[in-house]
Structure 1
Amino acid sequence: MRRVVINSTPLIILGNLNLLNVLHRLYGVVSVPQAVIREITAKKTAKFLGLTVTGTLGVLLKAKSNGIIGEVKPIMDEMNRLSFYVSEGVRNMVLTQAGELDK
Protein backbone atom coordinates (compact mmCIF):
# COMPACT_ATOMS: atom_id res chain seq x y z
CA MET A 1 0.00 0.00 0.00
CA ARG A 2 1.05 3.55 -0.68
CA ARG A 3 1.63 6.21 1.91
CA VAL A 4 -0.47 9.35 1.38
CA VAL A 5 -0.48 12.87 2.72
CA ILE A 6 -3.93 14.26 3.37
CA ASN A 7 -5.47 17.59 4.29
CA SER A 8 -8.28 18.08 6.76
CA THR A 9 -11.28 18.04 4.40
CA PRO A 10 -11.46 14.26 3.76
CA LEU A 11 -10.70 13.61 7.44
CA ILE A 12 -13.56 15.83 8.58
CA ILE A 13 -16.05 14.46 6.05
CA LEU A 14 -15.15 10.79 6.43
CA GLY A 15 -14.90 11.20 10.22
CA ASN A 16 -18.43 12.63 10.35
CA LEU A 17 -19.58 9.64 8.29
CA ASN A 18 -17.70 7.15 10.52
CA LEU A 19 -15.66 6.08 7.47
CA LEU A 20 -12.09 6.91 8.50
CA ASN A 21 -11.26 3.22 8.15
CA VAL A 22 -11.68 3.63 4.37
CA LEU A 23 -8.51 5.75 4.22
CA HIS A 24 -6.50 3.19 6.18
CA ARG A 25 -7.80 0.28 4.09
CA LEU A 26 -7.05 2.08 0.81
CA TYR A 27 -3.70 3.64 1.64
CA GLY A 28 -2.25 2.04 4.77
CA VAL A 29 -0.29 4.97 6.17
CA VAL A 30 -2.05 8.33 6.11
CA SER A 31 -0.02 11.39 7.10
CA VAL A 32 -1.52 14.71 8.12
CA PRO A 33 0.94 17.61 7.88
CA GLN A 34 1.53 19.77 10.97
CA ALA A 35 0.71 22.93 9.07
CA VAL A 36 -2.65 23.10 7.39
CA ILE A 37 -2.08 24.40 3.89
CA ARG A 38 -4.62 25.75 1.46
CA GLU A 39 -6.14 22.95 -0.56
CA ILE A 40 -5.82 24.73 -3.92
CA THR A 41 -2.13 25.44 -3.31
CA ALA A 42 -1.58 21.86 -2.20
CA LYS A 43 -3.26 20.46 -5.32
CA LYS A 44 -1.24 22.68 -7.64
CA THR A 45 1.99 21.74 -5.88
CA ALA A 46 1.17 18.03 -5.94
CA LYS A 47 0.37 18.13 -9.66
CA PHE A 48 3.57 20.07 -10.35
CA LEU A 49 5.49 17.33 -8.51
CA GLY A 50 3.76 14.65 -10.59
CA LEU A 51 1.73 13.29 -7.68
CA THR A 52 -1.78 11.92 -8.04
CA VAL A 53 -4.42 14.18 -6.52
CA THR A 54 -7.60 12.59 -5.18
CA GLY A 55 -10.39 14.30 -3.27
CA THR A 56 -13.02 12.85 -0.96
CA LEU A 57 -15.27 11.73 -3.81
CA GLY A 58 -12.32 10.07 -5.55
CA VAL A 59 -11.56 8.21 -2.32
CA LEU A 60 -15.15 6.96 -2.23
CA LEU A 61 -14.98 5.79 -5.86
CA LYS A 62 -11.72 3.96 -5.20
CA ALA A 63 -13.15 2.42 -2.03
CA LYS A 64 -16.11 1.08 -3.99
CA SER A 65 -13.92 -0.31 -6.77
CA ASN A 66 -11.78 -2.05 -4.13
CA GLY A 67 -14.84 -3.55 -2.40
CA ILE A 68 -14.36 -1.54 0.81
CA ILE A 69 -17.78 0.10 0.51
CA GLY A 70 -20.80 -1.21 -1.36
CA GLU A 71 -22.32 2.02 -2.64
CA VAL A 72 -21.30 5.64 -3.07
CA LYS A 73 -24.78 7.19 -3.36
CA PRO A 74 -25.95 6.75 0.26
CA ILE A 75 -22.66 8.19 1.47
CA MET A 76 -23.03 11.18 -0.85
CA ASP A 77 -26.61 11.63 0.40
CA GLU A 78 -25.32 11.70 3.98
CA MET A 79 -22.54 14.12 3.00
CA ASN A 80 -25.22 16.42 1.58
CA ARG A 81 -27.20 16.13 4.82
CA LEU A 82 -24.03 17.16 6.69
CA SER A 83 -23.77 20.27 4.46
CA PHE A 84 -20.94 19.06 2.21
CA TYR A 85 -22.03 20.71 -1.03
CA VAL A 86 -21.55 18.88 -4.32
CA SER A 87 -22.97 20.37 -7.52
CA GLU A 88 -25.54 18.31 -9.40
CA GLY A 89 -23.11 17.92 -12.31
CA VAL A 90 -20.33 16.57 -10.10
CA ARG A 91 -22.80 14.35 -8.23
CA ASN A 92 -24.08 12.86 -11.50
CA MET A 93 -20.52 12.36 -12.79
CA VAL A 94 -19.48 10.52 -9.61
CA LEU A 95 -22.62 8.40 -9.54
CA THR A 96 -22.14 7.55 -13.23
CA GLN A 97 -18.56 6.44 -12.55
CA ALA A 98 -19.86 4.38 -9.63
CA GLY A 99 -22.58 2.84 -11.82
CA GLU A 100 -25.23 4.24 -9.47
CA LEU A 101 -26.78 7.17 -11.35
CA ASP A 102 -30.24 5.58 -11.62
CA LYS A 103 -30.36 4.18 -8.08
Structure 2
Amino acid sequence: MPGIIVSDTSCLILLDKLGRIDLLESLFGEISITGIIAGEFGKKIPGFIKIENPKDKNYQRILESLLDPGEASAIALALEREESLLIIDEHKGRREARQLKLNYTGTVGILIVAKEKGLISSVTEILDEIQRTDFRLSEELIQEVKKRSGE
Protein backbone atom coordinates (compact mmCIF):
# COMPACT_ATOMS: atom_id res chain seq x y z
CA MET A 1 0.00 0.00 0.00
CA PRO A 2 1.38 3.43 -0.93
CA GLY A 3 2.39 5.79 1.87
CA ILE A 4 -0.04 8.53 0.80
CA ILE A 5 -2.85 8.70 -1.72
CA VAL A 6 -3.24 12.14 -3.31
CA SER A 7 -6.30 12.85 -5.44
CA ASP A 8 -6.89 15.58 -7.96
CA THR A 9 -10.32 17.15 -8.24
CA SER A 10 -11.71 15.26 -11.25
CA CYS A 11 -11.75 11.90 -9.46
CA LEU A 12 -13.64 13.37 -6.50
CA ILE A 13 -16.17 15.17 -8.70
CA LEU A 14 -16.82 12.16 -10.93
CA LEU A 15 -17.16 9.62 -8.13
CA ASP A 16 -19.38 12.05 -6.22
CA LYS A 17 -21.64 12.47 -9.29
CA LEU A 18 -21.92 8.70 -9.52
CA GLY A 19 -22.65 8.37 -5.80
CA ARG A 20 -19.53 6.25 -5.40
CA ILE A 21 -17.02 8.49 -3.63
CA ASP A 22 -17.01 5.90 -0.82
CA LEU A 23 -14.96 3.61 -3.12
CA LEU A 24 -11.93 5.75 -2.28
CA GLU A 25 -12.39 5.14 1.43
CA SER A 26 -13.01 1.42 0.89
CA LEU A 27 -9.85 1.08 -1.19
CA PHE A 28 -7.46 3.38 0.64
CA GLY A 29 -8.87 4.30 4.05
CA GLU A 30 -7.63 7.86 3.88
CA ILE A 31 -6.72 10.06 0.96
CA SER A 32 -5.18 13.52 0.87
CA ILE A 33 -6.11 16.55 -1.17
CA THR A 34 -4.83 20.09 -1.13
CA GLY A 35 -6.78 23.16 -0.08
CA ILE A 36 -6.98 24.19 -3.74
CA ILE A 37 -8.58 20.88 -4.65
CA ALA A 38 -11.02 21.18 -1.74
CA GLY A 39 -12.06 24.57 -3.15
CA GLU A 40 -12.43 23.18 -6.66
CA PHE A 41 -14.54 20.29 -5.34
CA GLY A 42 -16.88 22.87 -3.84
CA LYS A 43 -18.73 20.55 -1.46
CA LYS A 44 -18.32 19.31 2.08
CA ILE A 45 -15.26 17.07 2.19
CA PRO A 46 -15.98 13.53 3.46
CA GLY A 47 -14.28 12.63 6.74
CA PHE A 48 -11.84 10.15 5.19
CA ILE A 49 -10.30 12.93 3.08
CA LYS A 50 -7.48 14.88 4.69
CA ILE A 51 -6.52 18.37 3.51
CA GLU A 52 -2.77 18.70 3.28
CA ASN A 53 -0.83 21.34 1.35
CA PRO A 54 2.66 21.02 -0.11
CA LYS A 55 5.28 22.48 2.19
CA ASP A 56 7.52 23.70 -0.63
CA LYS A 57 5.46 25.96 -2.89
CA ASN A 58 8.26 26.17 -5.52
CA TYR A 59 7.25 22.88 -7.18
CA GLN A 60 3.67 24.05 -7.27
CA ARG A 61 4.55 27.43 -8.83
CA ILE A 62 6.64 25.78 -11.53
CA LEU A 63 3.91 23.24 -12.30
CA GLU A 64 1.26 26.01 -12.45
CA SER A 65 3.02 27.33 -15.55
CA LEU A 66 1.97 24.07 -17.25
CA LEU A 67 -1.13 22.87 -15.39
CA ASP A 68 -4.17 24.18 -13.54
CA PRO A 69 -3.62 25.03 -9.86
CA GLY A 70 -5.36 21.91 -8.53
CA GLU A 71 -3.29 19.52 -10.63
CA ALA A 72 -0.12 21.45 -9.82
CA SER A 73 -0.81 21.31 -6.07
CA ALA A 74 -1.64 17.57 -6.18
CA ILE A 75 1.57 16.75 -8.04
CA ALA A 76 3.61 18.99 -5.73
CA LEU A 77 2.17 17.22 -2.68
CA ALA A 78 2.81 13.77 -4.19
CA LEU A 79 6.39 14.78 -4.96
CA GLU A 80 7.04 15.65 -1.32
CA ARG A 81 5.93 12.28 0.02
CA GLU A 82 7.71 8.99 -0.54
CA GLU A 83 5.71 6.10 -1.96
CA SER A 84 2.80 8.30 -2.99
CA LEU A 85 0.04 7.35 -5.40
CA LEU A 86 -1.46 10.22 -7.36
CA ILE A 87 -4.99 9.93 -8.75
CA ILE A 88 -5.12 12.22 -11.78
CA ASP A 89 -7.17 12.06 -14.97
CA GLU A 90 -6.14 14.97 -17.19
CA HIS A 91 -3.67 14.09 -19.94
CA LYS A 92 -1.26 16.98 -19.29
CA GLY A 93 -1.17 16.24 -15.57
CA ARG A 94 -0.52 12.54 -16.19
CA ARG A 95 2.28 13.43 -18.59
CA GLU A 96 3.95 15.59 -15.93
CA ALA A 97 3.48 12.89 -13.29
CA ARG A 98 5.10 10.35 -15.62
CA GLN A 99 8.05 12.67 -16.33
CA LEU A 100 8.50 13.20 -12.59
CA LYS A 101 8.43 9.42 -12.07
CA LEU A 102 5.41 9.51 -9.77
CA ASN A 103 3.13 6.52 -9.30
CA TYR A 104 -0.24 7.52 -10.68
CA THR A 105 -3.58 6.18 -11.78
CA GLY A 106 -6.87 7.66 -12.87
CA THR A 107 -10.47 7.30 -11.83
CA VAL A 108 -10.97 4.44 -14.28
CA GLY A 109 -7.92 2.68 -12.82
CA ILE A 110 -9.56 2.99 -9.40
CA LEU A 111 -12.63 1.21 -10.81
CA ILE A 112 -10.49 -1.70 -12.04
CA VAL A 113 -8.95 -2.11 -8.59
CA ALA A 114 -12.38 -1.82 -6.96
CA LYS A 115 -13.63 -4.70 -9.10
CA GLU A 116 -10.53 -6.79 -8.36
CA LYS A 117 -11.20 -6.32 -4.64
CA GLY A 118 -14.89 -7.19 -5.01
CA LEU A 119 -16.16 -3.70 -4.14
CA ILE A 120 -18.08 -3.41 -7.40
CA SER A 121 -19.50 -6.15 -9.57
CA SER A 122 -19.26 -4.47 -12.98
CA VAL A 123 -16.88 -1.90 -14.39
CA THR A 124 -18.96 -1.77 -17.59
CA GLU A 125 -22.01 -0.61 -15.64
CA ILE A 126 -20.04 2.26 -14.11
CA LEU A 127 -18.44 3.15 -17.46
CA ASP A 128 -21.97 3.46 -18.86
CA GLU A 129 -22.87 5.78 -15.97
CA ILE A 130 -19.73 7.85 -16.67
CA GLN A 131 -20.72 8.20 -20.33
CA ARG A 132 -23.95 9.89 -19.16
CA THR A 133 -21.92 12.62 -17.39
CA ASP A 134 -19.74 15.36 -18.87
CA PHE A 135 -16.63 13.24 -18.21
CA ARG A 136 -15.30 11.90 -21.52
CA LEU A 137 -13.63 8.55 -22.10
CA SER A 138 -12.21 7.40 -25.42
CA GLU A 139 -13.62 4.22 -26.93
CA GLU A 140 -10.08 2.80 -26.86
CA LEU A 141 -9.85 3.37 -23.10
CA ILE A 142 -13.29 1.86 -22.51
CA GLN A 143 -12.33 -1.31 -24.41
CA GLU A 144 -8.98 -1.55 -22.60
CA VAL A 145 -10.67 -1.20 -19.20
CA LYS A 146 -13.28 -3.83 -20.04
CA LYS A 147 -10.52 -6.21 -21.14
CA ARG A 148 -8.40 -5.57 -18.03
CA SER A 149 -11.40 -6.12 -15.79
CA GLY A 150 -12.45 -9.31 -17.58
CA GLU A 151 -15.70 -7.92 -18.97
Q: What corresponds to 2:118 in structure 1?
A: 67
> Is 1:89 the equivalent of 2:140?
yes
CA shift digits 1:71-92 (9 cap, x unpaired): 1001000100112211111110
User: What do the CA deviations read for 1:46-103 (whole angstroms, capped 9, x no partner)?
Assistant: 4455431010000000000011111100100010011221111111000011111xxx
**Taking structure 1 as reference, are residues 80 and 40 closer, same or farther at Cα in structure 2, changes over 3 Å only?**
closer
| SS in structure 1 of the partner of residue 136 of structure 2 | coil
Question: Hey, what does 1:23 align to over in structure 2?
Answer: 24
The percent identity for this pair of structures is: 34
Unaligned runs of 5+ in 2: 37-69, 73-89
Corresponding letter in the other structure for 2:131? N
Once the two structures are superposed, residues 19-71 of structure 1 have per-residue CA deviations (whole angstroms, 9 ceiling, x without a partner) of: 11100111111111123135556535544554310100000000000111111
In the alignment, the residues of structure 2 paired with residue 82 and residue 95 of structure 1 have an alpha-carbon distance, to the nearest angstrom, of: 19
Aligned Cα RMSD in Å? Answer: 1.8
TM-score (norm 2): 0.59
Matches within 5 A, 1:1-103: 2=2, 3-35=4-36, 36-38=70-72, 39=90, 42-100=93-151
Instruction: Tell me how far apart the structure 2 counterparts of residues 31 and 55 of structure 1 sit (CA, whole Å).
Output: 15
- Give 1 or 2: higher strand fraction: 2
Q: CA 1:45–1:85 in structure 2 vs 1: closer, same or farther (change >3 Å)?
A: closer
Could you list the runs of 5+ residues in structure 1 that have no partner in the other structure?
A: none
SS at match of 1:37: helix
